[in-house]
Structure 1
Amino acid sequence: MADRRELLELFYNILRRMKKEWNKELQHGINHSQYLILKTLKHSGPQKANELAEAIQMTPGAITGASDKLVSEGYAERKGAMKDRRVVYLEITDQGEHILESMIENQKKATERFFEGLSDEDISHLIRIYHQISNNLDQQAP
């Protein structure tokens, strides 16, 4: 059982440290939630606050607060729906796409540094392990 305890401690420690490194790569005062919003908007197109909240597992109120900052910085804009002006969509701007691409590239470089020094065999083992973890998560999903 001690091995599992050590595994969990290492896992949580690595997750914390990876998140810290990834957060260093965020620019212009954008936090992780705002990054996720921009990423979702880039890949899924304009979204309502409740759609974004569901997609990135935040409350609609938290989405509104995070979105306010993105709008004020020019990284996103709010647009009313053509048929019903009460419905408001958040949309990424060109400036938001530019910042997002820069952050993704920086995070990719940071992630590559995490795996420096690992042999091809170690990488193969990690890939196998990550697939198993992913399968375990898929089986637990509703």
Structure 2
Amino acid sequence: MNIFENLLTSLKRASEVSVSIMKPRDEGVITHNLMIFLFMIQNKGEIRTREISEHFGVTSGAATGIADKLENLGLIERNRSKIDRRVVTLVLSEKGKKLVQSKKREHVELYQYILHDFSEEELLNTIRMLNKISDRIDSYNNRGDI
């Protein structure tokens, strides 16, 4: 295996094991995938239903169903554009914000426990490298080249 294959294998494994420790904590009415979606809304501030379709690879009808479920649970709100009433954005409700903050705290505490023996320097270097990789991927996605 070359170094890039090793990198891809390591990133995939890190993602999979990360999900494996978070997923059981996110089950119940709000599944792990719905929590990921709520975190996505928090990070972006607002999203359109189309972005749900693209992110999860589902039809627009399924995306609307996801939004309906979260709205019925009081976790998101739909906002219509005043300029173009056809445009609807989804934002976290206060209840949704509280849930995301609670889950975020839970995840941070879990990682603090798991990584307690890593030095601050090791953690900072890991953060820098992961951010650098993410920035390069974003750059590639946005311009089509590096």
Same fold (TM over 0.5): yes
1:19 maps to 19
Q: How far off is 1:107 after superposition?
A: 1.5
| Percent of residue pairs bearing the same amino acid type | 24
Q: 2: distance between equivalents of 1:84 and 1:22? A: 38
Classify 1:28/1:41 alpha carbon distance in 2 versus 1 (closer, same or farther; 3 Å).
Answer: same
CA RMSD of aligned residues (A): 3.4
Q: 2: distance between equivalents of 1:89 and 1:28? A: 26
Q: Deviations over 1:86-117 (max 9, x none)?
A: 54443322211211111111122223334221
TM-score by length of 1: 0.68
**Length, aligned pairs only:** 141
TM-score by length of 2: 0.66
Q: 2: distance between equivalents of 1:127 and 1:79? A: 35
1:68 maps to 68
Once the two structures are superposed, the pairs formed by residues 31-110 of structure 1 within 5 Å of their partners are: 31-51=31-51, 53=53, 56=55, 58-59=57-58, 60-82=60-82, 86-110=86-110
Which structure carries more relative contact order (alpha carbon 8 Å, separation 6+)?
Answer: 1
Q: 1: distance between equivalents of 2:139 and 2:103? A: 32
Q: How far off is 1:9 after superposition?
A: 4.1
- Structure 2, unaligned stretches of length 5 or more? none
Letter of the aligned partner of 1:69 in structure 2?
Answer: K
Q: How far off is 1:84 after superposition?
A: 5.8
Q: 2: distance between equivalents of 1:28 and 1:105? A: 18
Once the two structures are superposed, the pairs formed by residues 116-131 of structure 1 within 5 Å of their partners are: 116-131=116-131
